[in-house]
Structure 1
Amino acid sequence: MRLIDQDTLDALEGSRPADNLTVWAWRGGQLVVPEPLNVKNWSADDEAGENVKVAQRIGITVADPDGTLGAWRFDDPLGVGGTRLQIIYNVGGASAVNFGWFRITGNVPTEYRESRIINEYGYIEPDGSLPPHKKRVWITTAAVSLTVVDITSDVDRDRLQAPQSPGAGATVISEWKRLTGRYFPTVVDPGVTDTGLSRQLVYEKERLEAGQDLLSRVSARYRMGGDGEAHIYPQRGPVVLRIEPNQGLINVSRSQSIDGLYNRWVVEGKNEATGDPIFGVKDIENGPLRYGGDHGQVPFFYSSEMITTVAQATTYAEKLRDEFLGNLAVELSAEIIPHPELQAGDRVEIGCPVPAGHVVYLPGDITSISRAGSPIPGNTTLTVSCSYTDVLAALDRTEWAQHITDEMPELTWDLMPGSWGQLPPILWSEL
């Protein structure tokens, strides 16, 4: 989550003047355009996940009245040869949020030219068709579309020129800093525990991918902060924001797909002595996805010559099954009022009304954020991945509470935010 002060956070929930962006263009520590860019429209996408390298991508269209911002040379002010944009999100009636620093990766100018005929006494157009005292003038209207990405992209392009290994005493965090320190400082967020590394570890070509793999060893990920610093953050951090219906939450929806819902894991190996194939199998034995139940029979196959015994194959099949069950999730799509401080990877709580007439609060990790403005920001769309176990637990609590209310109507209570603390004391043990 980007840094934000409490007054600005409070302003996000209330009526306020329109928000806007301030965008400065820099190269080599110097401004290359003396004034902030005149933003006409913009869109921003932010992602988090195991295979996401460069998380933040932004498209910006800026006005170019005199036609000087469309790049010809790589070192033109908005050329792709090293210009960075500093983007600041101004919350109307409050303060500002440093949104981040981004590298320009694309510059596409669009120019519109039209001519007008004006009176100019004494002017005669050479070899022209205009009568004396008439002159044709050209008017140019231009805009430039910029593609920008967060500055981890610089690390991604800087591939290793030869294989490397950690030095003596290296840790995950120290190696991350060594691999990326040329491009930005690193801040380690609370909840990340460092660990040592073997000197036998070898990185091949991909510098950023090596850093990503290192952080996975301590269940952490990386993302850029608002001041150009990288943050190492835990994969499952604390809840940073509760989003309430009829307040910050505009609407929320969910979807299901049958794709990838396996219920049997078949692991194949090879007997080390005879070379004959061996197999290990593990099933989901209970619940709606149980093998052979209403969901059917949906096997997943894995093969490795490193597996040489039935016991190894069975153990690995069990591991794959348990990882699958642990990663089952319900994906929510939530439209909310603008919250510029939120980033992909943040953990939030979404208030979801249910048919029983209550609201259940589902914790989940933001996997993507989409924002846009013309230039005033519109609503923000979040994709939030909620653990299937957490969802079932929340729904079970609501169904239990509704049952108690139906059976004993004299014991009623409000199930809105914070209401679980208002339950009659005699019922706490039942929860």
Structure 2
Amino acid sequence: MLDMSTTALAVVLRSHTMAMRAESWLGGQLIADDIPIADGSESRDRSLAVPEQITLTVPRRDQGYDWDPGTDPAHPLAAYGQMLRIDYGIDVGGGTMEWINRGWFLITESSTDGDTVTVTCAGLLTLIDEATLVSPFQPGSSDTLASVVRALIEPALTVSFDGTLVDRAVPLGMQWDSDRLGAVTEVLGAWGAAERVTEDGYLLVEPVSDAAAAVLAISDDPATGTVVRWQGSTTRDGAYTCVVAQGEDSAGNQLQGVVYDSAGTSPYQYGGPFNPLPVPYMYQSSLLTTVAQCRTAAAAQLALLRRQAFRKLSVTMVPHPGLVTGDILTVTGAGLTNARCVIEQLSLPYSPGEMTLTLRVL
């Protein structure tokens, strides 16, 4: 969850007065502040290569300033490297507005229609996704997983690594031809890690895990009014009961590690009613050089696969500007009691309205 005061956390659990503001930056320099946002929305989806998408509407003229980017490449709303820092404001009483930083977003398109400017933004991983490799990327003999990630990402984004990750050398002979973001994904997959862009604009690399503490309890109790309505769904598509991760040691011997879904509460538990036979997902990487590495990668891939196929709930609720994908909630309702769920998708309105979440039951 994003940083919020105790007062603001209490206010957002009920109907509240909100406001939006944005700053525009270009080349590390502030070029406009307090951009007037008339409407908009933010969506996040952890299954996408670039999870964050923003749409804004801005009045063409406000307080004597023309927000039409026209043909000026240095205009605050132009799509030539301009980044927006977006804040969601909460009226906490006494004429005080608390601002919650939703993060940094790259303007990808802007257009003017009459008196309205429409601005489309995407997450900062767009910088990596669009920057395909000019020539094949080959790590050197002294490179490690961390140094390869830095070489592929920086200086577009500054990379920060979780202290629990154990770095290791990259096998000789690795090469990636064109897909820069795909190369990062392969390295992180073999490491048992995943990346996310923080609200401060850094790329954080951390272990794949759903073990974090819950940040919020939601329910359909009329006394709290947190949840407006529920919708549920289940599917067999993309469901596996085990992951087989394969690699190769320095002598060319084939290695593999297998991790089975052994969680007692999992509907895809190996040997359970889902299928009495194993349903394997095959994962292969030349970055895996020991059986232990294969098992770690297999466990991480199993956790990532669960994001796609586990029981899902669609929740409509009062907007909560502190929530982001990956946050853990406890849910009471829809047949659940204090069940741990993780946010996989969200849609946050930038004007008065309802917030929607897609939760995965853990």
TM-score if structure 2 supplies the norm length? Answer: 0.73
| Structure with greater contact order relative to length (CA < 8 Å, sep ≥ 6) | 2
Q: Does the CA contact (< 8 Å) of 1:352 and 1:362 recur in 2? A: no
Which of 156, 164, 170 aligns to 2:129? It is 156
Instruction: Choose which of 254, 262, 280 in structure 1 pairs with 2:232.
Output: 254
1:12-411 equivalent positions in 2, closer than 5 A:
12-13=12-13, 16=16, 18-33=17-32, 35-49=33-47, 52-65=48-61, 68-73=66-71, 75-77=73-75, 78-93=77-92, 95-111=98-114, 142-189=115-162, 191-237=164-210, 238-245=212-219, 246=221, 247=224, 248-257=226-235, 259=237, 287-290=272-275, 327=306, 329-352=310-333, 354=335, 360-373=337-350, 375-376=351-352, 378-387=353-362
Letter in 2 for 1:68: D
Distance verdict in 2 for CA 1:42–1:365, change over 3 Å: same
- With over 3 angstroms needed to count, the CA separation of the structure-2 counterparts of 1:363 and 1:174, relative to structure 1, is farther
Q: CA deviation at 1:260?
A: 5.5
* Residues 10 and 217 of structure 1: CA distance in aligned 2, closer, same or farther (over 3 Å): farther
Over 3 Å counting, the alpha-carbon distance change for 1:259 and 1:223 in structure 2 is closer
Q: Secondary structure at the match of 2:156?
A: coil
Match in the other structure for 1:2 = 2
Deviation of the 1:190 alpha carbon: 5.9
Query: What is the alpha-carbon distance in structure 1 between the residues aligned to residue 13 and residue 281 of structure 2?
Result: 49
Q: CA RMSD in A?
A: 3.4
Give the letter aligned to residue 73 of structure 2: D
- Residues of 2 paired with 1:4 and 1:199: CA distance? 46
Amino acid at match of 1:351: T
Look up the SS of the partner of 1:98 in the other structure: strand
Q: Which amino acid aligns with 1:217?
A: A
SS of the residue 2:38 aligns to: strand
Using a 3 Å threshold, how does the CA distance of structure 1 residues 103 and 260 change in structure 2: closer, same or farther?
A: closer
For 2:21 and 2:13, the matched residues in 1 are separated by 21
The letter for the 1-side match of 2:324 is Q
Say if 1:243 and 1:249, in contact at 8 Å, map to a contact too: no
> Is the contact made by 1:79 and 1:104 (CA closer than 8 Å) also made in structure 2?
yes
Q: Which digits, 9 at most, give the CA deviation of each residue in 1:254-302, with x for residues without a partner?
A: 1134545689xxxxxxxxxxxxxxxxxxxx995443469xxxxxx9999
Who is 2:244 aligned against? none
Mapped to 2, the partners of 1:323 and 1:103 lie a distance apart of 32
Q: Does the C-alpha gap of structure 1 residues 7 and 285 become closer, same or farther in structure 2, counting only changes over 3 Å?
A: closer
Greater share of helix residues, 1 or 2? 1
Task: Using the aligned pairs only, state the percent identity.
Answer: 21
Contact 1:187 1:231 in 2 (8 A): yes
CA–CA distance in 1 between the matches of 2:334 and 2:74? 53
Residue 256 of structure 1 aligns to which amino acid in structure 2?
Answer: T
Separation in structure 2 between the aligned mates of residue 346 and residue 100 of structure 1, nearest angstrom: 16
What amino acid sits opposite 2:38 in the alignment? K
**TM-score, normalised relative to structure 1:** 0.62
Output the CA distance in 2 between the equivalents of 1:347 and 1:169.
38
Q: Is the 8 A contact 1:236 1:347 kept in 2?
A: no
Task: Tell me which residue corresponds to 1:415.
Answer: none
Amino acid of the residue matched to residue 166 of structure 1?
Answer: P
Structure 2 vs 1, CA of residues 342 and 291 (structure 1 numbering), >3 Å: closer, same or farther? same
- Name the SS for the 1:148 alignment partner: strand
Alpha-carbon distance, 1:143 to partner: 0.9
| Structure of larger gyration radius | 1
For residue 8 of structure 1, report the CA deviation from its aligned partner. 3.2
